[in-house]
Amino acid sequence: MSKYVASHRLVGIVLITTLMTACAPQSSTAAPAAPAAAPAAESSPPGGAPATPLVRGLPNFADLVEAVGPAVVNVTVIEKRQRNPARGSGNPFSDDNNDPFGDFFRQFQNQPRDNTPEEGVGSGFIVSSDGYILTNTHVVENATRVTVRLTDRREFQAKVVGSDDKSDVALLKIDAKNLPIVKIGDPSRLRPGEWVVAIGSPFNFQNSVTAGIVSAIGREVRGGSAYNYVNFIQTDAPVNPGNSGGPLFNMNGEVVGINSQIYSNTGSYAGLSFAIPIDIANNVRAQLAATGHVTRGRIGVSIQQVTAALADSFGLDRPRGAAVSSVDSGGPADKAGLKPEDIILSVNGRKIEQSSELPALIAGIRPGASADLEIWRGKGTKHVSVVVEELKDKASVARSGGRGGSSDKLDSLGLSVRELSAAERSQLHTGGSVVITETDGPSAEAGLRAGEVILGANRKSVGSVAELRDAVRDAGRSIVLLVQSYDASQGNSQQRIVTVQVE
């Protein structure tokens, strides 16, 4: 029987970032001797009861780990290496067919080099006594073999029941019975500052225990595959490659999250760890177990964050909710009467503070069900019922931009614009008529860019430069513009809302 040598690959998503350290100068002064020290600012008044400390001592995690540790598993995967790069890669000479050295190098480049299987390590935890296990999708993707090792050192070959890259959650199954299982907690009850415990296999050191506190909840993490549908739990519990897929426990010994990502400029722990809330993972788990895939809801809107400037422009008391920048024609939101520049404040009674919370909320609603949206429009609230439809993996294509013609200058905005011809509008598939040709002053500070098409101003459509001038004249201190921009790298267009100060 032939043998292979497996090289170790520690599995984990690492989001690379630049870390900066701020240092403040320190100074010291010699205090003169005094018969008695001055009372501390937080001392109780004379004769009063001593202040009760808000925190007493440090927790002992030993009993918790003893109780929950047996349900945490090590996950080892085997996958084949990628073959050597495409023709021409690594060739120091020309790819010219007449180059004799080129033929020489191509001869070797087309040969398989190293097909040694590659081994990856991650973590997971048992959610049912008959062998269902949760882990991360990125731990088991492209695996040809998955092995699960329990704390009692028994090993099982696991089947990948299903995986979902949008949430980075995967469900495994091993052939076993009467297994220890974890208890599922409620991540919505987590509070920044409370203790949490991570158990996993960092760098393949199995059943390693680390602890920290919840740093933040509802955190949007750009750069991972799951950020559109997951608002992460941020902790400072040390998590390293190999911890991926392992559980995050609260102090009741309940799983509140799945450790998934870290922020680092080294590839190792740097104080920022992110876990997928277990309620999201449980929704995915149930669907994977039932059908092998995940169905999500959509309402057909594009959204953006509500800034302080937008909140002030719309008469909202403070920045909150999700601002609607575009509505898909004929989609659920369009049929329900939602419009660009509406602000969605809640879904089925659940308040929205950050715009990043909305996609996960809508995605978790069963297609065909109705969602009650509280929206802000015209400096007042109203409720709209939207029938959620199934999210399909497709992109809506539209184009914007244009060149030529003379520009008009709107000095109070620092904005130069011109009108698009009918042929340009047809070519660009845009309903707008006014394109930005140059920005300066307030418009540049607001982030407007040349090539963007202005669709509306202060909730009214703009069909000409004259209409835009009228809107600016009547705007007051600021004007809210709905603009359409073309993303060449994605090949589509997006709408956004921009507030510009009027000089």
Instruction: Tell me the catalytic residues.
Output: 138, 168, 244
Separation between Cα atoms, residue 270 and residue 17, nearest integer Å:
10
Joined together, the tokens standing for residue 262 give: 């870290």
452 neighbors 484 (Cβ within 8 angstroms) = yes
Q: Is 254 left (phi over 0), alpha (psi -120 to 50) or beta?
A: beta
- Structure-token match 């509406």, residue found: 342
Q: Would the CA dihedral through 172, 173, 177, 183 be positive or negative?
A: positive
Separation between Cα atoms, residue 128 and residue 146, nearest integer Å:
18
132 neighbors 161 (Cβ within 8 angstroms) = yes
**Half-sphere exposure for 421 (CA within 13 Å, toward CB):** 8
| DSSP strand pairing (13-16 vs 389-390) | unpaired
**Half-sphere exposure for 164 (CA within 13 Å, toward CB):** 28
Residue 126 burial class via C-beta count within 10 angstroms: exposed 0-12, middle 13-18, buried 19 and up: buried
List residues bridging with 78 in a β-sheet.
Answer: 119, 145
Separation between Cα atoms, residue 66 and residue 61, nearest integer Å:
9
Short-list 270, 226, 241, CA closest to 11:
241
Kindly give, in sequence order, each residue whose CB lies less than 8 Å from that of residue 253, ignoring residues fewer than 6 positions away: 64, 67, 68, 183
Largest CA distance in the chain: 98
Joined together, the tokens standing for residue 144 give: 């040809």
Q: Is 90 left (phi over 0), alpha (psi -120 to 50) or beta?
A: left
Residue 257 DSSP code: E
Separation between Cα atoms, residue 459 and residue 474, nearest integer Å:
13
Short-list 205, 444, 484, 453, CA closest to 327:
484
**Half-sphere exposure for 300 (CA within 13 Å, toward CB):** 20
